[in-house]
């Protein structure tokens, strides 16, 4: 992947509201797609990934992301956010020919009570 | 299972000084990565090791940065001499194998160069 774009540096939402964090990438070959999350004062950890198969992937804590090849996107969604979802979310992409991860700049999810 | 350990957590130095960071990956993980994360940006890969061999160091500024992974376990990253633009968080990650396997990250070392 040549680049990964996360257009929103911060997304404020009210608790229990839905949220979408956007991720677009540029690549002309097959890709693998990842969302990592960094909770306050913790290291990055994998949230979910798309390698092949179903284009809709889910995490254990209610997030989902859909791979859209035509739009080169991998947006992250949650129908109802909780205060514990406060974190920075990073989208990352690697190409089939080169597994190096290319990272977006991150989106801070801010939950308003 | 113990996670990826890094030390120190914070370091403040003056420009032209030297600094070293240490990383201990998860036991049994063959692949180790060093990333640089500048404020407001995503991580950038500096170097990737497979056991004690270098897989990719294309983005490592070799005139000032060096890294080693002796015996295929612990790793150190050194900067000599440091520049102001080296101020960043340095992340270490490990995975069982390379490829698209999940990477496990340490807490990072925040370096400030004055």
What pLDDT is recorded for position A21? 98
What average pLDDT score do residues B2-20 get? Answer: 96
Question: Shortest CB distance from B100 goes to which of A32, A44, A104?
Answer: A32
Burial degree of B108 (CB within 10 A; 0-12, 13-18, 19+)? buried
What pLDDT is recorded for position A65? 97
What pLDDT is recorded for position A97? 67
Contact with chain A for residue B106, Cβ under 8 A: yes
Mean pLDDT: which of A42-46, A50-54, A73-77, B55-59 is highest?
A73-77
Question: What ranges do the domains of chain A cover?
Answer: 3-112
* B8: preceding bond cis by omega (within 30 degrees): yes
Name residues whose C-beta falls within 8 Å of residue A66's C-beta, 6 or more positions apart in sequence.
A55, A56, A57, A74, A75, A77
Question: pLDDT, tens digit, for every residue of A48-100?
Answer: 999 888 899 999 899 999 999 999 999 999 999 999 999 999 999 988 666 78
Question: Shortest CB distance from B108 goes to which of A43, A92, A101?
Answer: A43
Contact with chain B for residue A52, Cβ under 8 A: no
Residue B112 lies in a domain: no
B3 interaction partners in chain A (CB closer than 8 Å):
43
Cβ pair A95, A27 in contact under 8 A: yes
Angstrom distance (rounded) from CA B26 to CA B32: 9
What pLDDT is recorded for position B57? 95
Domain A3-112 class, CATH top level: mainly beta
B100 interaction partners in chain A (CB closer than 8 Å):
32, 49, 51, 94, 99
Question: pLDDT, tens digit, for every residue of A5-35?
Answer: 999 999 999 999 999 999 999 987 888 999 9
Question: pLDDT, tens digit, for every residue of A50-63?
Answer: 988 889 999 989 99
Domain count of the fold of chain B = 1
Contact with chain B for residue A59, Cβ under 8 A: no
C-beta atoms of B91 and A43 within 8 A: yes
User: With 70 as the cut, is the pLDDT of residue A3 above it?
Assistant: yes
C-beta atoms of A101 and B103 within 8 A: yes
Its domain, for residue B44, covers 5-99
The CATH number of whichever domain residue B93 belongs to comes to: 2.60.40.10
Angstrom distance (rounded) from CA A78 to CA A63: 5
Residue B107 lies in a domain: no
């Amino acid at each position: 992947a040549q680049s990964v774009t996360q257009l929103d540096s911060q997304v404020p939402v009210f608790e229990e509201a839905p949220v979408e964090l956007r991720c677009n990438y540029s690549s002309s070959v097959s890709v693998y797609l990842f969302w990592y999350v960094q909770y306050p004062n913790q290291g990055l950890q994998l949230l979910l990934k798309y390698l092949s198969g179903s284009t809709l992937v889910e995490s254990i804590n209610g997030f989902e992301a859909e791979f859209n090849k035509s739009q080169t996107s991998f947006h992250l969604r949650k129908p109802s956010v909780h205060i514990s979802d406060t974190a920075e979310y990073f989208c990352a992409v690697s190409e089939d020919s080169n597994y190096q991860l290319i990272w977006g700049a991150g989106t801070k999810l801010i939950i308003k009570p | 299972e113990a996670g990826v350990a890094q030390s120190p957590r914070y370091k403040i130095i003056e420009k032209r000084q030297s600094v070293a960071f240490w990383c201990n990956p998860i036991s049994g993980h063959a692949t180790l990565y060093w990333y640089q994360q500048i404020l407001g940006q995503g991580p950038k890969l500096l170097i990737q090791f497979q056991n004690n061999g270098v897989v990719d160091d294309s983005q490592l500024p070799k005139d000032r940065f060096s890294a080693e992974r002796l015996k295929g376990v612990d790793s150190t990253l050194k900067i000599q001499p440091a520049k102001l633009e080296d101020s960043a968080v340095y992340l270490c990650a490990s995975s069982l194998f390379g490829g698209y396997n999940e990477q496990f990250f340490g807490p990072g070392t925040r370096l400030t160069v004055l």
